[in-house]
Amino acid sequence: MSSRAELPEWQNLVQHAAAVKDRSISGLFQQDAQRFSNCSRRVADKLYDFSKNNLCETTFERLLDLAKAVDFPAWRQQLWDGVPLNSTENRAVLHVALRDSSGRAYWVDGKNIALDVQRSLKQMRRFCAQVRSGQWLGYSGKTITDVVSIGIGGSNLGPQMACEALASYADDRLKVHFVSNVDGVQIRRVLADLDPERTLFVVASKTFTTRETLLNARTAKAWLLQQAGANDAVAKHFVAVTSAVAKAQAMGIAPENCFEMWDWVGGRFSLWSAIGLPVALYLGFDQFEQMLAGAYEVDRHFFETPERDNVPLLMALIGVWNNTFLNMPTQAILPYDQALKYLPAYLQQAEMESNGKTVNRAGESISYTTGAILWGQLGIDGQHAFYQLLHQGAHNVAADFIGSVTPVLETDEHHTNLLANLFAQTQALMDGVDEQAVLADLAARGLSEAEQRALAPHKVHRGNQPTSTLLMTKITPQSLGGLIALYEHKIFVQGVIWDVCSYDQWGVELGKLLANKLEPQLEGEEPPATQDGSTSGLIRYVRAQQLA
């Protein structure tokens, strides 16, 4: 397989980038009075504005040429057809099947998995209705008031992000709590405020082998049984979401309390499956379905819209342009909506676990930069923390600003101020402030020439940092579903462009293996002589301190 970098379309972009990398983004607006409408697109309730990127008509066309050269339409078709795109694990990648309400069949190994999806959704609907209506009773006959979701990574980040994002749509029937950290402090704090008679645990683990999750589940079970005494209380208080039902049952979880997961959905794309059960319990199943509907709407856009208007494709191409061709290794996600507090963490896993790879699909080393270092937090808080570096630091950083036209709750002038900040930041990051403007301002403030010269360098903002803005009408279950689906497809396209296998995560496995080996050493086993001195030294230090 020849390298992407050898494609003429790739080389065209390399040359183009060298020629335009330092041009002024604001200058591009002077050349094109219609730049905003030329460089923005609509999808569902969203507007995607990419005009504040270092990108002109030529860049746009060359990026589309690259998408064509790597056969994007064929790859997209394979995703649609359920071809095992997770080639290192020989698995299909069918999270789209989880939200397809059209009745279409999806075939995996001769089986129509759409039927499994429907069965699982039905089970979720029934269970949510029972718990939320008070029909489901705990071991002592009391109704459930609190749900504790135990899981990590893809089995935690999605439900936690969605519950936070959609909290305004929840009623007061159930509270939801999340435990992911193996640090026992987290689970102890959560349990401290709960009543075992009224608490339901959702143990979410696709493999049911993840040490953090199993340890937390065991602690939760011991806490329950300490109060309940009888082991059969587990059947009233524990459900599992897993593809390893036998392992869940071995932990004492009743077979009828197991919700199915499948090999053809990756952990970080599994929010749409029963992994989303905490969301459905918290909001009610109808709202969970709305989230699926929003994602499906974007799926249709992705599969049906021509390239130049296809938002996830454009998001991906612009990301590749900034990351690989303009050498910007990082991508900030900056939501201006309190509801999206956990979106950066969610997308961090989705993108970095997917495209943080350095070999291509054929296993050959890649010579270009792949997956961006994705990071971020609520933009307004970031403004008072790390934005200084964005404005005046040494690094070029690409950023996605995400906001809503209307707030979820009536907030008077708060929302106006929030949006003003969002737009002000993208403007400042693009325009900056040059020395001449700084000097004029200082002179107008009455500073002497010497004072002006001394202060001016500190007040210059170089600008020209690329940003994209995604505006939703308002956070709703549907719009959130669509937002996540946009990024999921963006990740897929970037994997195609970079030619990486986006759906495995071998890099995560190594740490798990080593942690399992080191745990006995922390419990007293002598570190082997072959182990590195630092690790052995740290372990001996901890042991000595603990025994002192």
**Least distance to ligand F6P from the beta carbon of 86, Å?**
12
Q: Is residue 508 part of the contact set for ligand F6P (CB under 6 A)?
A: yes
Q: Is residue 310 part of the contact set for ligand F6P (CB under 6 A)?
A: no
Q: Which is nearer to ligand F6P, 164 or 263 (CB)?
A: 263
At 260 the three-state DSSP class reads strand
Binding residues with ligand F6P: total (CB under 6 A) = 14
Q: Is residue 120 part of the contact set for ligand F6P (CB under 6 A)?
A: no
Q: Which is nearer to ligand F6P, 450 or 510 (CB)?
A: 510
- Cβ burial, residue 539 (10 Å; 0-12/13-18/19+): middle
Q: Is residue 213 part of the contact set for ligand F6P (CB under 6 A)?
A: yes
Chain length of the chain: 548
**Least distance to ligand F6P from the beta carbon of 155, Å?**
4
Of the candidates 355, 366, 345, which has an alpha carbon nearest to the alpha carbon of residue 491? 355
Q: Using CA atoms, how far apart are residues 537 and 420, in angstroms rounded to an integer?
A: 53
**Least distance to ligand F6P from the beta carbon of 216, Å?**
11
What the block records as the tokens of 163 is 């519950």
Q: Is residue 205 part of the contact set for ligand F6P (CB under 6 A)?
A: yes
Amino acid at 354: S
**Dihedral Cα 79, 81, 86, 91, nearest 10 deg:** 150
Q: Which is nearer to ligand F6P, 48 or 238 (CB)?
A: 238
Q: Which position has the token pair 């993108």? A: 351
What is the secondary structure of 69-122 as a DSSP string? HTTHHHHHHHHHHT---BTTTTB---GGGGG--S----EETTEEHHHHHHHHHH
| Residue 400 burial (CB count, 10 A) | 25
Q: What letter does residue 208 receive in the DSSP assignment?
A: S
**Least distance to ligand F6P from the beta carbon of 244, Å?**
8
Q: Is residue 207 part of the contact set for ligand F6P (CB under 6 A)?
A: yes
Q: Using CA atoms, how far apart are residues 232 and 209, in angstroms rounded to an integer?
A: 23
Q: Is residue 348 part of the contact set for ligand F6P (CB under 6 A)?
A: no
Q: Is residue 98 part of the contact set for ligand F6P (CB under 6 A)?
A: no
Q: Which is nearer to ligand F6P, 359 or 508 (CB)?
A: 508
Q: Which is nearer to ligand F6P, 70 or 350 (CB)?
A: 350
Structural contact between residues 71 and 79, judged by C-beta atoms closer than 8 angstroms: no
Which position among 52, 268, 415, 489 is part of the footprint of ligand F6P (CB under 6 A)? Answer: 268
Q: Contact region for ligand F6P (CB under 6 A) — 200-208, 445-453, 527-535, 539-547?
A: 200-208
Q: Using CA atoms, how far apart are residues 359 and 502, in angstroms rounded to an integer?
A: 11
Nearest 5°: phi and psi at 460?
Answer: -75, 135
Q: Contact region for ligand F6P (CB under 6 A) — 132-140, 146-154, 231-239, 381-389?
A: 146-154
Q: Is residue 88 part of the contact set for ligand F6P (CB under 6 A)?
A: no
Q: Which positions from 352 to 381 touch ligand F6P by CB under 6 A, shown as an x/- string?
A: -x----------------------------
Q: Is residue 505 part of the contact set for ligand F6P (CB under 6 A)?
A: yes
Q: Using CA atoms, how far apart are residues 102 and 97, in angstroms rounded to an integer?
A: 10
Strand order of the β-sheet with 199-204 is 175-179, 146-150, 199-204, 238-242, 258-260
Which position among 210, 287, 404, 452 is part of the footprint of ligand F6P (CB under 6 A)? Answer: 210
Q: Which is nearer to ligand F6P, 87 or 421 (CB)?
A: 87
Q: Using CA atoms, how far apart are residues 419 and 398, in angstroms rounded to an integer?
A: 19
Q: Is residue 284 part of the contact set for ligand F6P (CB under 6 A)?
A: no
**Residues catalogued as catalytic:** 353, 384, 512
Q: Which is nearer to ligand F6P, 155 or 468 (CB)?
A: 155
Three-class SS string for 373-384?
EEEECCHHHHHC
**Least distance to ligand F6P from the beta carbon of 154, Å?**
3
Q: Is residue 153 part of the contact set for ligand F6P (CB under 6 A)?
A: yes
Q: Is residue 155 part of the contact set for ligand F6P (CB under 6 A)?
A: yes
Which position among 46, 62, 206, 237 is part of the footprint of ligand F6P (CB under 6 A)? Answer: 206
Q: Which is nearer to ligand F6P, 357 or 415 (CB)?
A: 357
- Cβ burial, residue 151 (10 Å; 0-12/13-18/19+): buried
Interaction site with ligand F6P (CB under 6 A): 152-155, 205-207, 210, 213, 267-268, 353, 505, 508
